[in-house]
Chains A and B, each alone.
Chain A
């Protein structure tokens, strides 16, 4: 029995220990390291943890497997298919909802503003129309930004970087919650209606992923509802597979590109992949695009027509003029170069802006104000451009949704207004398909320039919005300009149809910004519905990526880095073979003995300075302090469940009737295990012993000290590990390699560099 005074002593001791530790370290390093530094890209945040993709093959697991017979596993397989179908259907429905609401709200807004402009064009006082437009935009965006900034900041942006991280194995807090989905969907609607230079396609990927994560668990912690279904899938490995299906379904619904969606998941989460999973993901993708298609066709009044497979539909590219000849391929490649350069410029500008935002605009109120300002400025820029433009086109025979006359003659509309006074998706399609001569080069040039800066400024705001459509729009505008000048140079040759060049420009610009290759090629190909465009689009994207990578990296990777996420790339840095596991690992390791005192466990878990999640379990020889041989690995979450259920050796002897802990108890607590502070352990219980041998993973992966970094990296990355124990030749624990230890080595401009860890 511990007296209160002795307990206090222990607490003091641990405090003293901690201080000494820090003190020691400081004296050890004579160079004065700055303790507090401004945010920069060379940091790894402690906020992010890994996901447990490695299955813990403890005795409970083996028992369960023995209990479930063969037919039950077959049911599990069927359940997987059912879940995939549900993911597809729900993702498609969410996409429909977004599309329909955006269409109606944006239509309402544009009609109001158009009516106002038409009224004031006659009487004078257009400045009021400008104010109305800017105020409408700013207020809608304000709502969208407030919900994101104050309720769920992780819903900001396109969500693709976050999903990329998740599939990579990083646990981004809150990323797959129902609340995030709701905020994301509302946020997207509001930011598109608010007239920002954004698209609703990127967020669909995030939405799909959240839907998948939610359905596969059969419950929602946000709603506090447990449907008691799909309990088998309540662990990180299974959830990841469904999340990749959800992301694929999202892409598929966004672009009407089921194969592109599968390849997107493949490109982003490829290290965990198998044939059956691919087939299931493809199934989910197909279901998703089909659901969207059928619901939208019913909504548009021509049921069974199935003519709108995606949120954005590039329209048909199959007439004679849209074909390309072999002579045009060098021209397309040149466009790829231009796209790469412009994309790199976009990313570089956005990098500086994002850095500034992280450093100075970190308070939610400021973020909301910034978003409102961007919305107002976007409206103003659009208005001024339309006001100054003298490019009038006959209204007859054109398919403009909201033709603005302004200073044009009656029966004509302002051509600049088709680009600015419209949702970005519609503008893209107009640029692809409007007849040659619908835009004059001056209009396109000004539009490209302005939209480039607006889109660059908008990405990274605290609103949920994607960058796909703005990139396509910029690219389509300069591509069309390029096509027009080309046909001007060649004295109106037949093959210089501007729509084709608009498409290639869009591909080049998008490739230059996001640097996706395989999936983007297929997405573009499917969105155009023309397989013969595959080759030029591939060339364009390839060139754009090569040229862009020469300057800066892709937008998503850049943002992942700026968020200080410990992201593991495909390979370890090439020049890192001289580093060994000994230098990479963290040491010393907090180990637990196989039969450990409860008090020790609680103290270790509640120690705020060491936020470890996995503890090697060593052979228990209570007498010695020496590090002993490795026996297994136990996770923080498992320990917490054990403490919560009070699975102590003494209690087991005390009451034999107490039921044994099952795997289900661990799954029920997943994924939000309670913090250690919420678990009450009395003084008596602290003296009890806890037997970990039944619950630990008895065969954790280990590496010897001499293994090189690339070797460790390969094992870690390919298996999706969270903890990798480093042992010496007597199988004694000498260190632990975790994600952050590996992710901190990076190939920079001057060779191998090491990132620092930081508290954020």
Chain B
């Protein structure tokens, strides 16, 4: 252990030295840090004799793969955050990362039984950054409900999702197409053209979405939540917002007069009922029974009589 420490210390000093020295010159300092890192890595790789507990090259490779994969996935997730395209855009990355994580978890180093990669990468320190990263990705994936719009083994988008996205693109194109001619000479509140022309597509999209939702709810097992995957949900949400907020297309007929008439009729009924039962129903009378008691004046004084 001592030997190990003595080997470690120079490396640390090398890594920290330039950064601590050059606080004012930021960029060069960073560069220096990078250099130091590489240097330390080299030192680490070269300087350690083979018999010390060290990450084997295979494991190192696995780790590097995982790091690259997670970087790619993170980038993808970030890029497709708005409008949400997480599941469509990143399912390959995610599947890839899963495979890489699986490799680490199941890989066995060839040097000895006890020092396999899984153990040294996943569980040998407090932070366990690989596990944390992998958990984060899994949770995000689950929260986005992505498995819902992918095929069984996440090998591609499921048929219904593809169908939905097609329709979605179609309606967006329709919106665009119908808006193009109008933007110049019409006030922004008048979108009758869009409403008329794209109604059919929108209706189809809406129905398809509702169908998907219903199917999902029926087939939903106990563990699965009732939500569709975030891509579909968000696409529908955007369309609906455009349709009813921006274009103001869904104007429900408000028939206030009949509703008021019917409700006031119903609300009027109890009044009639109570009045009529008050006037016509015979009031229920109770027959008083005189108790058998020894009459004494003392008790009468005590008790205030109600019926006087």
A interface, CB within 8 angstroms of B: 25, 28-29, 31, 33-39, 42-43, 46, 121-127, 130-131, 134, 300-302, 356, 358-363, 366, 369-370, 373-374, 376-377, 380-381, 383-384, 387, 394, 396, 406-407, 409-411, 578-579, 582-583, 585-588, 735, 741, 745, 750-754, 756-760
Residue of A31, A36, A126, A300 touching B288 (CB-CB under 8 A): A36
Find chain B residues with CB under 8 A from A583 CB. 293-294, 296, 298-299
| A131–chain B nearest beta-carbon distance, Å | 6
| A59–chain B nearest beta-carbon distance, Å | 32
Q: Would you give 29 A-B contacts (Cβ < 8 Å), ordered by A? A: A25-B290, A29-B290, A33-B290, A36-B285, A39-B284, A121-B252, A123-B253, A126-B258, A127-B255, A127-B261, A300-B222, A301-B221, A360-B281, A360-B284, A363-B281, A366-B281, A370-B270, A377-B266, A384-B259, A387-B259, A410-B206, A411-B241, A741-B291, A753-B304, A753-B306, A757-B290, A759-B286, A759-B287, A759-B289
Find chain B residues with CB under 8 A from A383 CB. 259, 263
Find chain A residues with CB under 8 A from B252 CB. 121-122, 406-407
Find chain A residues with CB under 8 A from B222 CB. 300-302
Contact A587 B294 (CB under 8 A): yes
Find chain A residues with CB under 8 A from B292 CB. 586-588
**Chain A contact surface mostly:** mixed
Contact B287 A758 (CB under 8 A): yes
Q: A37-B286, A360-B278, A409-B241 are in contact. Are A377 and B304 (CB under 8 A)?
A: no
Find chain A residues with CB under 8 A from B233 CB. 396
| Chain A binder among B7-15, B47-55, B86-94, B242-250 | B242-250
Q: A125-B258, A407-B254, A582-B296 are in contact. Are A757 and B291 (CB under 8 A)?
A: yes
Residue of B206, B250, B273, B293 touching A587 (CB-CB under 8 A): B293
The size bracket of the interface on B is 35 or more
Contact A377 B262 (CB under 8 A): no
Cα–Cα distance between A578 and B300 once the two chains are bound (Å): 12
Cα–Cα distance between A127 and B255 once the two chains are bound (Å): 8
Find chain B residues with CB under 8 A from A302 CB. 222
CB of B240 within 8 A of chain A?
yes
Contact B294 A760 (CB under 8 A): no
Cα–Cα distance between A694 and B168 once the two chains are bound (Å): 93
Q: A360-B277, A360-B278 are in contact. Are A757 and B288 (CB under 8 A)?
A: yes
Find chain B residues with CB under 8 A from A582 CB. 294, 296
Q: Which residue of B lies closest to A373 (CB)?
A: B270
Interface flags, B24-53, vs A, CB<8A=1, else 0: 000000000000000000000000000000
Cα–Cα distance between A300 and B220 once the two chains are bound (Å): 12
Contact A34 B307 (CB under 8 A): yes
Q: Which residue of A lies closest to B268 (CB)?
A: A377
CB of B283 within 8 A of chain A?
yes
Contact B237 A411 (CB under 8 A): yes
B interface, CB within 8 angstroms of A: 206, 221-222, 233, 236-237, 240-241, 243-245, 250, 252-255, 258-259, 261-263, 266-267, 269-270, 273-274, 277-278, 281, 283-296, 298-299, 302-308
Contact B261 A38 (CB under 8 A): no
Q: A373-B269, A750-B304 are in contact. Are A757 and B289 (CB under 8 A)?
A: yes
Residue of B259, B286, B307 touching A127 (CB-CB under 8 A): B259
**13 more A-B contacts (CB under 8 A) besides A410-B243, A752-B304?**
A46-B289, A126-B259, A127-B255, A134-B266, A360-B278, A361-B281, A394-B237, A406-B252, A582-B296, A583-B298, A586-B292, A751-B304, A752-B303
Cα–Cα distance between A605 and B255 once the two chains are bound (Å): 70
Find chain B residues with CB under 8 A from A33 CB. 288, 290, 307
Find chain A residues with CB under 8 A from B261 CB. 127
| B272–chain A nearest beta-carbon distance, Å | 9
Find chain B residues with CB under 8 A from A757 CB. 288-291
Residue of A34, A37, A586 touching B293 (CB-CB under 8 A): A586
Find chain B residues with CB under 8 A from A735 CB. 294
| B191–chain A nearest beta-carbon distance, Å | 14
Contact B263 A380 (CB under 8 A): yes
Q: A123-B253, A384-B259, A753-B306 are in contact. Are A760 and B286 (CB under 8 A)?
A: yes
Contact A409 B283 (CB under 8 A): no
